[in-house]
Amino acid sequence: MFIEPNLSGERRGWIEVVCGSMFSGKTEELIRRLKRARIANQRVEIFKPALDKRYDENNVVSHDANAILSTPVEHSQTILLMAQEVDVVGIDEAQFFDPEILSVCETLALRGVRVIVAGLDMDYQGKPFGPMPQLLAVADFITKLHAICMKCGNIANISYRKTATTGQVLLGEKETYEPRCRKCFHE
């Protein structure tokens, strides 16, 4: 990624969105970027929705068990209060946040903060998920990751729910979801 040099000395912020289906490596990529920012001696804060307690109450944890300490929050506005004097803010599972997450990310970027957001772009029905479409629309950089379809081995971009449970939000792992390509998802 090329970042235009800022010769005025003023710190400029931006929004990066990492999206894709479940098991595509979104959280892994978020953790990688945040760890690199720390190596560069940047001040980093990480947030996740309080409802996501699948692997750990406080840590953001990837399916491969990589982890980074985070702060669980109930409402996105809390991020603005807790992200003072930072260079980089990481936000995991953005699809679970309230619609205000968009203005939170915009405000942080305007303050000169690099904002890295990871989340599902589509729900289990293949429909846009939560505030992710709006975040993708305002993002300066977008990385779309793909998993491998569990039926045919092609690239997968949809999180297929293996249970009959309805409702857009159902936290789960491999017992509940599997990645599927477009063709296998619709069969």
What's the pLDDT at 58? 61
Q: What are the extents of the domains in the chain?
A: 14-147
- Chunked mean pLDDT (size 10), the chain, 187 residues: 52 94 93 95 94 63 64 94 96 95 98 97 93 98 97 95 65 72 94
* Active site annotation includes 85: no
Q: CB under 8 Å to 163, separation ≥6 — which residues?
A: 170, 172, 176
What's the pLDDT at 50? 87
Three-state SS sequence of 169-187: CCCCCCCCEEEECHHHHHC
**Distance between CA atoms of 150 and 141, rounded to whole angstroms?**
29
At the fourth CATH level, the homologous superfamily of domain 14-147 is P-loop containing nucleotide triphosphate hydrolases (3.40.50.300)
Residue among 10, 68, 77 nearest 36 (CA): 68
What's the pLDDT at 175? 60
State the catalytic residue, choosing from 16, 29, 45, 93: 93
What's the pLDDT at 63? 55
What's the pLDDT at 108? 98
Q: pLDDT digit string (tens) for 64-108?
A: 656 667 889 999 999 999 999 999 999 999 999 999 999 999 999
Read off the pTM.
0.86
**Distance between CA atoms of 134 and 137, rounded to whole angstroms?**
5
